[in-house]
Each structure stands twice: as C-alpha cells, then as structure tokens.
Structure 1
C-alpha cells in the first residue's frame, strides 16, 4: 500500500503528452492515461480491492505503452444513480482529460467508473471533444470510433442495470425481513447478536442484560420526571459505559484525519490522550494515509476490537434516544413507521396489525407511550429562553390581560414576575410562595389521588392509544390499497384527511398519560417532601400538570402595594375540587 500511496499522492508529477511516446492501439494515436480506482464496501476489504486494481492498471499501461498521467482513487463511494456522495478524485481525473494533460481514462471494469448513464454520457462527450479513449477489461475504446462508442454504451447500460437489479433484490429482502419482524440496521443498545455456529450467520438479537439494566434505570428516571441532564451526569459519575462506547465510526476516523493535517493541533490532541491511546490514534491515521476509506478504517479497527481513543460520555441526547428507542420497545420500523401487515379479521375480511418483533422488548409498550408523551411534551422542550427552566412560574403563569407567559424581571424593589407587554408586574418571592403553597396543599389533600383520577387516566390513555393504533392500521390499509390500484386516488384523498385528524385526536388523548406518570408519587402526606427532591425541570412539569395560573394586575396601590393582592390571581387548577382549598395569604 506504501507504493500505491506514493503514486496516489504524487499527482503533480504527471508527464505532458509531448514528453511520452506511447505505442498506438490499433491506431496511430499516442495515449497518456489516468487510472481511476474505486472499491465499494465488500467482504474482502477496501485496501486489497484497490491494490488489485492498481496492479492491473500498471500491467495494462506497460503492455500497451501508455504514458502514466496519474492515479486517482475514491474508495468506498458509490458510483450508481442512487449515490449520495460526491467523488472528488473522479472529477479530478476528468479535469486531467479536459486540460489535455491526459487523453485516456482507465478503469478496472466499466462499473468502476460509473453505474449511471447520465454520468457516462458526460464522460463520453469529454473524451470525444479531446479525441480521447476509455480503457477497461483489457481493451482501449477510442471514443471517435463509432463501434467503440457502441460497445462502451452497451457496457454502461449493463452496469446501470446491474445496480438497478441489485437495488430491487435488496429492497425485496428488506421488505421480507420487515414482514417477518427481523431486525434491521445497526445493533440497538440493549442487545447482542447471536450467530449460528455452523454457518456463522446472525440468528438475531438477544438482550444484553447489563445494558438492559441501564435502560430500565433511564426509563424509571424519565417516568419520575428526572431531568435528562441529571440522568446523564448520574450515569457518567457511576462510570456506566455509554451507548456505542468505544466504537469507531466514519465520523470519528474523519475527525482524526482532519486533525492530522494540522501538526500543532495533532500534537495538542495526542497530549490529551492516555499513553496507550496514542498509538491507536496514529494507527487510525496511518490506515487513511495508506489509502483506506474512513468507513474502511473504522471497520478494521472495530473488527480488531480496538476501542476509540476518547471514551464516550452520556449526554441528554443519548439519554433521550435510549428512552425513546423503538427497538428497545420491540417496535419494528420500516420506512420510518411501525410496520403493519394485512391479516384475516375473522369475518372474511382483512385488517392491519403491527408486526411482532423477532426480539424481546426491554421497554413495555405502555411505557413507550408514556415516555413519548413526557419527553415530547412542550414543558420538556428546551428553547432559547433558558430562563424559563430556572424559575418555577416563568411561562407556566400567564398574564390575565394578554395571555402571554410571565417572565422574571427586576426593579429597584427586587426581582419580579412580569408580563412581556407590561400589563402585570408582581413581586417575585411573594407570587412564587403563594402559588407554590396552593400547589402543595392541593397535592397533600387526602383525596388528591381521587381528584386526579390516576387509574381512570391510565385506562383512558391506554384505550386512546389502542384506538390510535387501530386508526393507523386502517390508514396503512388504505395506503396499501391505493398503491396497489384497488382504490382510486380521489377516494384516498377524500378519506386520508379525516383519518389523520382522528389519529391526531387519539394520540393527543393517549399523551395525557403523562399526568398520572408525574403525580403517582407526588400526592398525599409526603407530597411536599417528594416535590422538594425534584430538580427545577421536574417541579415545573408537576405544577404545569395540575395548574395554569392566570395573574391579573394588582388592585393595590400606594402604601398597600407591598401587600400581595390575591383577588386578581386565579391559580388555574385544571381539576375540579370537591371543596375549596385554603391557601396561605
């Protein structure tokens, strides 16, 4: 690979057309060629594939007396019509042809250059304009020869057709796996793959009990309304291995390769690593420098069991992703949605049901519904106004005049809760104490559990979720019938909006399960102590669940202005009380 690297890197030392005397190939033309190498991801590995292509190219050039115009390599980048990444070295090779420094473009075979007819057409035009040629499969094809143009066009069609057929087969396999509930994509946190001892093929996922224990802790904490930041800190303090800890990815290898381009930054980075990690970082960069792709280097390092040089840490995003993991909840996703299939309904018809995952869930479906409601609720979303997360009633209490959320302000008399339009301004400590005492006395009531109807809320939410699932299945059936042409486009358009609205309403009802999830351990004689143990984010969620205070302008003026005027304060309790609840003045 070192010899190959020297050839790839030294792209400036290319001969001009006049400095070479290549033999003609069935014509009197003299060729100076550029070699283009490309290897897609395969079981054999990238470096071997690229080196094989380079060896073949050198032999071909020597045999036909072709001048060497340089080597270009785009490793592990697709050349098909489905490609999403640019191929910088491919464009550089074409620029050599356009500039006149070379007049022949060599590939190992036709598919190495492109599997897209549109790209082939562009290459062909360039070569025709400069009087150039394509070379692959041991032949030189002069693009000014009609027979050679026909041959290369046929090969280009076959190359594109190959990838089209491959895509069709892959998609068929993906649909089959989805229908059978088998896993797809990378291994989900909480699971381990098991393999057949006879064939070495994957037999599926089984629960990794150590990771599952961490998932269950995250679920419990989220249902208790612990802040995601608090959960991440707790896991990091305990030294719990992070999701995907130690795994190399394309991005991590790329990051090291970028640092390596700047010696000062690279030395500073190495100084931050543990002594045993420094040779690993050097090895990762060496793989890239030897021609390995970022993906290929990551694959090799992971296959050798080499951990990433910087240990991963838990953060709020990782905690949230684990809590909302559909894989951990046993939900099989296909095209971004839970996969549904048609089954007999017992009455001679068909119905849509969710596919049963082939692996065991770690998170119960009912918990997944609760977690989705809690973590996607507005009060859990961070926004640019971080002040709202620091003060209990900011945003939770609203102005009685304009309805806008109150925020914290200041004055010569101290901090205040204020309407952004200036309609209301209340002394911060007094309003905070008044509303908090109302909330705590309500939660402490002996009949609080009855007031908040915890069991009823759970049952209703579960029923709403089942109804939403039924509606989603019905929509999936309509979509399948429309795709199969069994339902007209007009009929589907007429039905879809109503179904989507009913699904939205049912999902909204199901999300109400977050109320009992918050309050189950927050009512009765221990409510005050339980509330005090919550962080500010949890406390805000609790008070927002039970009340939405509306604050009007104070009626007191002059000497009485320092006395809290409660006559224009509506605590905004969201539940009906059997009798009045006194609050502190």
Structure 2
C-alpha cells in the first residue's frame, strides 16, 4: 500500500468518517472464481480496513478483454458512480476483474485521479495521484492484458484443433442437441434433435417445393413453432437454415468450411447447393402463387393465338382454360391437365431424364461454387486495393476484364450442374408416385420449371372436335401439339 493511500485511510479513521467503498465482482467463465466468492473476500477486506460498503455490483459471464463481444453494463455503472462523487474507493478482487484492456485501464486511472477515488485489489490500496501507485497498477494492468492475450491464443488454438477434427464449439445449432456423459457431464456427441430437426427439414423441403420464404415464416409463426434464440421467425433465419453448411454436416471456422463435422447431416449435398443457388441467384424470378392456387396451368399456360395467359372459366358447364384477354380459345381443363401430366411423366421417367433435367452430384456443384467463390474473393481484394488508392482505375479495369468472365463461366457451370429445386425426387421411375403427394403450388412449380404449355386454335367442324390442341412447350425441346 502506498504512502498516500495509507495516509488517506488513517486520516478518514481519525476523523470518524469511513471511506465509502464500491465493490465490483466479475467472472467471465464458470471455472473462474465466482462473483459471490470475490464479493465475500472484498467485503472481509472492507471490514478489516473500516470501509463503509455503499454498493456491491456483480457481473457474470462477461469478458473484460479487448476481444469481448458483450458490453459490461455493471462496469459502466461503476464508472458513473465514481464520477458522481459518491464513492471514495473502488474494491475489486484483483486488477484483472476491472479490466484486461489497457485502454480501459487508462480511462479508469484518469477517473480515479480526477475524482480522488482509491482503487483496492489483492489486499492493497492504490492512490492514482501517487506516481509509485500508478506504476504498480500499470504493471498489473499490462500483465492482465497479456494474460488475456495468452488466453485468447490458447482458446484460438483449441478451437482450430477441434474444428479440424470436425468437433463442435460454442452453443449448439438449432436442429441439434448434445448428449452428455451421465457421470462427468462432458458432451459426448451431437445428434439431431427430435423436435427441432424436423423443423429444419420442413424449411428445406418447403423451399425446394417452391414455397416462398415469407410463406414459410408465416406458417411457423402462425403455429407458434419455437424459434432459435427466442423471438419470432423471420426471413434471415429461414435463409440461414437453408444455406448453412452446418446442416450439410460440415464444420465451419471463421465463415469457411474446414472439415466434415462429427454430427449427422440434415440436408443432402444436392439439396444444399440447390438452395444456395436458389436463394443467392439475383437473376431468379419468383412466382407468388400463395397457398390458394389450385389449378395446374392457370396463369402459366399461354394462348396460342395472342400469347396471353390462360385463366379458368366455366364453358358448357365444365371448368375450362380460357384466354384471359378475349377468351377466343377455350379448352376443357380436365383434358388439358391430363395431357400435360402424361407428357410430364413421360419426360421425367425417360432414360435420359437425368441429363435432360441436369441432375448432378453434389460434389460437382460444390466444386463449381467453390471456384466461383475463390474468383470473387480475388476480385473483392482488388476492389479493396482500388478503394485504398493502391490500384489505379486502369489496373482495376484490366483485373475485371480478366476475372469477371472467369467468374461468369464458373457460376454458369454451377447453375448448369444444378437440379432445379422443384424437381428434386421427381426424376426417375417414381415420378408419378411423388407427383401424387404434391400440393397444387408444388405441382405448378414443377410445370413452370420444365415447360410453358400453349393452347392452340384447332378450328371448327366435326373433324376437329376431339383435337385438344395443346403443346407441352418443354424448355429443352420443341413441343408437339396433341
């Protein structure tokens, strides 16, 4: 204890006016000395020194290092009380409980000097107006920050080592749970949560089926399905679940996939990369059928005479497709739907369907996306150099001329390797069976993906009576009218 601090304490005792003490206890992890234990030791110290404790502030699970991501509201209150003139001495268990960041130490020291507040820790009392005490506390502050740096390095090494082994870190992801050793409480494995896992699958399946992000958000909130990190479901959460490699069974570190995770995947590679393309491709067109759409071709099939879309009307007492502009073409809805479904099944069940509809393996898609991502990262680095004045406009133009075509080629390759989302599970001999399980909005998404039917004029007279005059309009070939 410095001379100035000791003199002030003795003077207060002789005058019968005890120093007003503010206690602050902080712990950043459960394995550290608890805030209650810290407070108890500080209270004993105050009793021994004759301090009058005016308030005890506790802060649990809060880091004081410069790497901290959460604020310390109680420490802010400490500084406010010190500035208010209602505190004579700040008492902490040790120097590092107040700070592990030299910038914070400097601020605390200035407040102590300006408002005459002593700082007590480790069984000693320091007066920041005393050069010797400033030197002693500064040395302890440097050691506290250095220890924090060492801890950070050790933690980072440990996290990277676990990541390379595919082990989890931190709080569990929505959709999973951890099983623990019943004796030690140590986590043993990460498995699919029986309640949350199906919710993730519901989100993925809904997007692949053609449902919009907003419709999925509304459905989950209307049913009051519990959300990750509390609160309500929103579009950003849906997009995260759809695109996060975690659900592909991959371990991520600093935003990059670093290893296969030691937990089961909730989505397949094809599903994952299909959704990434679906939700990030700026050129994609979205159709908002909603949940009320019930006709297979309304708003999709085109009039073969004027090009307008066909709607559903009643003709001769039967539901029919009719041109929305003039109704000069009208055709029986049941016959048209049956013809389109038959043409669709024939195409989806054909031996070359996988090639026609671009079914690919997840690895091929992943490689194409990875190539595009690396090229874009290189381009972004050049943009950053240009923004800092390290690359001229002419140089940047040359870089763009080189990289942009490569990026476009890689992204086009990824898109060409991609199975359209609406077709997942439909390509192959099971097409009719899967089709029967789909909702109207899902069937419409399939039709939009592979064809644009046209209903043609067939002329009048008995010989044209049974002509349907429908052209499937498959996107990969010229259609034939029935």
- The normalised TM-score by structure 2 is 0.67
- Give runs of aligned pairs for residues 176-575 of structure 1, distance below 5 A: 176-188=161-173, 189=175, 192-193=178-179, 195=181, 201-205=186-190, 207=191, 214=198, 218=202, 225=209, 326-339=245-258, 355-361=259-265, 363-370=267-274, 372=276, 390-391=292-293, 426=325, 441-445=339-343, 447-449=346-348, 453-456=352-355, 457-460=357-360, 462=362, 464-465=364-365, 467-468=367-368, 471=371, 494=399, 500-514=407-421, 516-517=423-424, 519-520=426-427, 534-547=438-451, 573-575=474-476
Name the SS of the counterpart of 2:138 in structure 1: helix
Cα offset for 1:67? Answer: 2.4
Give the corresponding residue for 1:59: 44
Give the corresponding residue for 2:28: 40
Q: Structure 1 residue aligned with 2:143, among 158, 182, 195?
A: 158
Distance, in Å, in 1 between the alignment partners of 2:10 and 2:25 is: 26
Deviations 1:56-91 (A, max 9, x none): 121111211222231222222222212222222222
Name the SS of the counterpart of 1:327 in structure 2: helix
Distance, in Å, in 1 between the alignment partners of 2:133 and 2:308 is: 74
Name the SS of the counterpart of 1:148 in structure 2: helix
Closer, same or farther: CA 540–318 of 1 in aligned 2, 3 Å:
farther
Distance, in Å, in 2 between the alignment partners of 1:173 and 1:405 is: 61
Cα offset for 1:225? Answer: 2.3
Distance, in Å, in 2 between the alignment partners of 1:209 and 1:164 is: 36
Closer, same or farther: CA 77–337 of 1 in aligned 2, 3 Å:
same
Distance, in Å, in 2 between the alignment partners of 1:432 and 1:84 is: 65
Contact 2:422/2:442 (8 A) holds in 1: no
Distance, in Å, in 2 between the alignment partners of 1:150 and 1:222 is: 64
Contact 1:33/1:104 (8 A) holds in 2: yes
Closer, same or farther: CA 217–512 of 1 in aligned 2, 3 Å:
closer
Name which of structure 1's ranges 118-127 and 80-89 shifts more when overlaid on structure 2.
80-89
Distance, in Å, in 2 between the alignment partners of 1:368 and 1:398 is: 33
Distance, in Å, in 1 between the alignment partners of 2:27 and 2:308 is: 59
Closer, same or farther: CA 101–42 of 1 in aligned 2, 3 Å:
same
Contact 2:350/2:428 (8 A) holds in 1: no
Contact 1:330/1:359 (8 A) holds in 2: yes
Distance, in Å, in 1 between the alignment partners of 2:429 and 2:217 is: 20
Closer, same or farther: CA 109–462 of 1 in aligned 2, 3 Å:
closer
- The normalised TM-score by structure 1 is 0.57
Give the corresponding residue for 1:297: none
Give unmatched runs, 5+ long, in structure 1.
Answer: 1-21, 256-312, 340-354, 409-416, 418-423, 483-488, 552-565
Closer, same or farther: CA 376–472 of 1 in aligned 2, 3 Å:
closer
Name the SS of the counterpart of 2:60 in structure 1: coil
Contact 1:475/1:496 (8 A) holds in 2: yes
Contact 1:452/1:575 (8 A) holds in 2: no
Contact 1:373/1:512 (8 A) holds in 2: no
Deviations 1:175-220 (A, max 9, x none): 22222323333445356446598x8754544x56967995897599
RMSD value, Cα: 5.5
Name the SS of the counterpart of 1:332 in structure 2: strand
Aligned length: 426
Cα offset for 1:517? Answer: 1.5
Cα offset for 1:376? Answer: 6.9
Contact 1:369/1:510 (8 A) holds in 2: no
1:142 lines up with 2:142 in the alignment = no
Distance, in Å, in 2 between the alignment partners of 1:506 and 1:574 is: 18
Contact 2:210/2:421 (8 A) holds in 1: no
Distance, in Å, in 2 between the alignment partners of 1:376 and 1:80 is: 37
